[in-house]
Chains A and B, each alone.
Chain A
Amino acid sequence: MSVRLSPRPLSLAAAFRELEDPTLGGVVLFAGRVRADPTPQGPVLALVYEAHTAPALAALRALEVEARRRFGAGRTVAWHRVGRVPVGEVAVIVGAACGHRSEAFAATRFLIDRLKRTVPVWKEERARSVRPPRRPRRRPPAR
């Protein structure tokens, strides 16, 4: 069971290692990346994530407990970035290792769906601003 709120990049390889267990044959990882969605100010360049840390970590732990109870997940990860995350970088990783694939898929789906609804994390878009054309600088009036 591993939960994390991290200002640093998240590693899928590290998440996969968290799920290692020779008795668990079905392993599913989900990664959510920041998209370059269009906005009136231009395409999104990054998302800035903010969390209320203590309740967010408690909510992530509760999710993992529930994933174990419902789906028999032997190991789980639920990691979220905080701070500025540029387009293309991973903002969230969840995953589960179970005895078989069907429970692993179901547990991972449960983790990401519930995370979005119940973990106190918010995001704000940072888009490329469309600059107005430069105006020539006025000279100060001569004295």
Chain B
Amino acid sequence: MTPTGTNRRGPARGDGRARLLLFATARTAVGARTLSWPVPAEGATVGEVLAGLARAHPSVAPILPHCRYFLDNEAVGVNARVRPDSELAIHPPYGGG
């Protein structure tokens, strides 16, 4: 799926949108702090969402392997399931202090 389009069958009942939160270099690469991202009703893995993000915004692709991912404020791996109304945050390497 793409951020603005639907799949070939058209949006199925229950399909929805997740919210992507982008920080630091990931935000700069994408040019947005948040994105509304389409996900099917049954959800998509974090890895699938990231692959779609990298296709839509190639400049973020080299950053993503160095990032951590938080789904609804919990640290997750790429196999976690993003569902409609989830919030997926993309954290580039930290730089506090």
Interface residues of A (CB under 8 A from B): 32, 49-52, 54-55, 58, 80, 91-92, 112, 115-124
Contact = CB atoms under 8 A, between A and B. Distances in A.
B94 A118 contact: yes
A120 B21 CA distance: 13
A52 B97 contact: no
A58 B73 contact: yes
B6 to A, nearest CB: 30
B91 A52 contact: yes
Contacts of B94: 116-122
A55 B91 CA distance: 11
Contact of B96 (A54, A116, A124): A116
Given A32-B97, A52-B23, A120 B91 contact: yes
Contacts of A80: 96-97
Interface residues of B, number: 14
B97 A50 contact: no
A93 to B, nearest CB: 10
Interface of B: 21, 23-24, 68, 70, 73, 75, 89, 91-92, 94-97
Contacts of A55: 70, 73, 75, 89, 91
Given A117-B94, A122-B94, 15 more contacts: A49-B96, A52-B21, A52-B89, A52-B91, A55-B73, A55-B91, A91-B97, A116-B94, A116-B95, A119-B96, A121-B96, A122-B95, A123-B95, A123-B96, A124-B24
26 contacts: A50-B24, A52-B23, A52-B70, A52-B89, A55-B75, A55-B91, A80-B96, A92-B96, A92-B97, A112-B97, A115-B96, A115-B97, A116-B95, A116-B97, A119-B94, A120-B91, A120-B94, A121-B95, A121-B96, A121-B97, A122-B23, A122-B24, A122-B94, A122-B96, A123-B96, A124-B24
A125 to B, nearest CB: 10
B65 to A, nearest CB: 17
A120 B94 CA distance: 6
Most buried by A among B73, B75, B94: B94
Nearest to A117: B94
Most buried by A among B24, B68, B97: B97
A80 B97 CA distance: 7
